[in-house]
Amino acid sequence: MIILWIMFVMLALYLIRVLKGPTIWDRLLGMNLISTKIIVVIIVFASLYETTFLLDFAIVYALMGFVSTIFIALFLSERKLGRKRGKK
Amino acid sequence: MDIQSIQYLIGNIVISIGIAFMVFGVFGIFLLKDFYPRILVASKIDTVGMFTLIMGFVIRHGISFFSGKLMLIIIIMLILNPLVAHIMARSAYLSGYEVAETEIDDGERETTLKEN
Amino acid sequence: MEINALFILWIISGLFIVFESRLYRIIIYFGIFSLISSVVYLFLGAPDVAMAEAGISAFTTVFFIIFVGKYYGNQTNITREKIEINQFFRKLKGITLPFVFCAGLFALYIYTMPDTAASTYLKEWYLSNFISDVGGKNAVTAILLAYRVYDTLFEALILVVSVVAVVHMSHFSDSSVSDGHHSEIENSGMAVFTLRIICPIIVLFGGYLVVNGHISAGGGFQGGLAVATFFICRYMVYNIYDISVKRVMQLEELIFLSIILLSIIAVFLGAAALLPTAYLPMFQRAYLILMNVFIGLKVACGFFILFYRYIAFERR
């Protein structure tokens, strides 16, 4: 299906964003976006082959993917990693 | 036209609307220069695009066990994705990544924006 | 066909990790790498492994970020030894290059071999017999809990031993956490509210994975990981350290003992032979569900202890 190819192109673009992103939060944003696109890929596969049990994996990714993102963001909020705007 | 083909047609239209949301979001992620506009756009991809796309699949499959599980995923994503965007923006703000008021005003002026 | 594109993305994200030198970036790249790898496992036909990898990726990124934060504090540019590409190939010279060469030759040899079917009699035997021997519908669970239960016991023992090692080797005093607050991070009200909604869903879904493990993909380990993420969320909500690790450790060892006893009674002594044949499917199902529940509880306790110890370990 064509949705899969669009999703893969989007995954590649997000990987570029992750590699390029000037700050660490851009990378974190890319990670979150990739985890949600992976959920879409699994849903598309489950819909193609009419298999219900693949949707369990989508729920697992939805519930577990966010934990690491939120935890990294919380830990980074203590540290002064920010690029000050004035010094640019 | 029987009911199933109409279902498939409406489902495909809704799915393509969701895809359009996502594609515009990707454009935004690459065109915008700052982190805060970017996260605004990205949360749009995650919540609105995902919601529309999964709703398309729900319409395609009608009332069944499959679409019940999809509804559970929709609820989880609607709860979690704004939270993730919120926490990322908050952590960026707290650790000293300042918000630009305008594009010209790039100096060290203090911003009036406050979190929460 | 579509999966090949995913493979390419997988390899590229692996290369990110190798040629990056800043630690925070490496952690994020690693998270992406393990996310994509779990999908690849799923589509290659190993759903149980994929589900385990999804949980493990969440936990490893959390543990790594804790380590980096603890050891390097507020330093902004933490780098490991940077690997240039030239240097990378120079390092390969010694033992590695002949090894890689031999491995490549071996792979070529296998690839060019004529298509003779490998002997899969064991696999066929498992697949044809596991429903009558063990019960359930998931062959992986059947192999894990009945045919290869001795291996499973030792895997469970490894987690117990690692938890004991972490607890005994980390500096930790109860007085430092008596006031409760452990983190300078203030959570926003919105995050607390939302995580309170999501926590019960996580526990419910973990219980579903554990109880449903003998029918579809999932099982004790995966469900235990899902339940253990509940404790991370709980820590993020309340920001305190109020559960006694010692009690949880005793509970975990008790559960481990009961796993051993259950497997000895059901598999090694063959208690099923004593029953009349009408009760056999019920007994098999009860054994599988009980074993999965015990393993899930044990994994949840183990990962809970690891997480709390790492969080409390030498807090500045």
Contact A47 B42 (CB under 8 A): no
Query: In this complex, do A80 and C12 lie within 8 Å of one another by their Cβ atoms?
Result: no
pLDDT of residue C15: 85
Report in angstroms the alpha-carbon separations of C28 from A31, A60, B35, B61.
7, 19, 17, 36
Q: Exposed, middle or buried: residue C21 (CB in 10 Å: 0-12, 13-18, 19+)?
A: middle
- Please report where in the chains the tokens 């790898």 appear, as a residue: C37
Residue C86 to residue C176: CA distance in whole angstroms: 48
Nearest to A63 among B42, B76, B108 (CB): B76
Q: Does A3 touch chain B (CB under 8 A)?
A: yes
Give the model confidence (pLDDT) of A33-53 as tens digits: 888 888 888 888 888 888 888
Q: Which of C14, A12, C25 is nearest to B26 (CA)?
A: A12
Query: Residue B51 falls within a domain, yes or no?
Result: yes
Max Cα distance, chain B (Å) = 65
Q: Crossing angle of helices C280-312/C189-211, nearest 10°?
A: 150
B67 inside domain: yes
Q: Give the mean model confidence (pLDDT) for residues A18-33.
A: 82
- The whole-number pLDDT of residue C298 equals 92
Interface check A38 vs B, CB under 8 A: no
Q: Which residues in chain A touch residue C45, judged by CB atoms under 8 angstroms apart?
A: none
Would the CB atoms of C24 and A53 count as touching at under 8 Å?
Answer: no
B46 touches chain A (CB under 8 A): yes
Q: Quick check: helix, strand or coil at residue B64? A: coil
Whether B114 maps to a domain, the answer reads: no
pLDDT value at position C297? 92
Asked if residue B110 belongs to a domain, the reply is no
Residue C307 one-letter amino acid: F
In sequence order, the 6+-apart residues with CB closer than 8 A to the CB of C108 are none
The number of domains in chain B is: 1
Would you state the pLDDT for residue B105? 40
List CB contacts of A60: < 8 A, sequence separation 6 or more. C51, C54, C55, C205, C209, C222, C226
**Contact list, C198 vs chain B (CB under 8 Å):** 76, 79-80
Chains that touch B (3 or more CB pairs under 8 A): A, C
Q: Which residues form the domain of B65?
A: 3-94
Q: How confident is residue B116, by pLDDT bands cut at 50, 70 and 90?
A: very low
Q: Which residue of B has its CA nearest to C197?
A: B79
Q: Which of B107, B105, B102, B110 is nearest to B36 (CA)?
A: B102
Residues with pLDDT less than 70, chain C: 1, 73-94, 115-119, 171-187, 240-241, 313-316
Q: Is residue B26 part of a domain?
A: yes
Nearest residue on chain C to A72, alpha-carbon basis = C65
The answer to whether residue B100 is domain-embedded is no
Q: What is chain A's mean pLDDT, rounded?
A: 79
C76–A27 C-beta distance less than 8 A: no
Global confidence as pTM: 0.83
**Is C18 strand, coil or helix?**
helix
Give the residue from chain C lying closest to B90, CA to CA: C188
Contact B116 C197 (CB under 8 A): no
Token code pair at residue C232: 């991370």
- For residue C274, the 8-state DSSP code is G
- The whole-angstrom separation of Cα A82 and Cα C76 is 9
Write down the residue that tokens 């009332």 correspond to. Answer: B63
Give a yes or no: residue B36 inside a domain: yes
What per-residue confidence (pLDDT) applies to C84? Answer: 65
Q: Under DSSP, is residue C22 helix (H, G, I), strand (E, B) or coil? A: strand
ipTM exceeding 0.95, yes/no:
no
Residues B71-93: pLDDT tens digits?
988 988 888 888 888 888 888 88
For C45, left (φ over 0), alpha (ψ -120 to 50), or beta? Answer: left
Q: Out of B26, B39, B57, whose CB is closest to A10?
A: B26
Instruction: Tell if the CB–CB gap between B15 and A46 is shorter than 8 Å.
Output: no
Taking the CA atoms of residue A65, residue B78, residue A46 and residue C4 in that order, the dihedral angle to the nearest 10 degrees is -50
* CA dist., res. C45 & res. A7, Å (int): 21
A88 to chain C nearest CA, in Å? 16
Taking the CA of residue C310 and the nearest CA in chain B, the distance in Å comes to 22
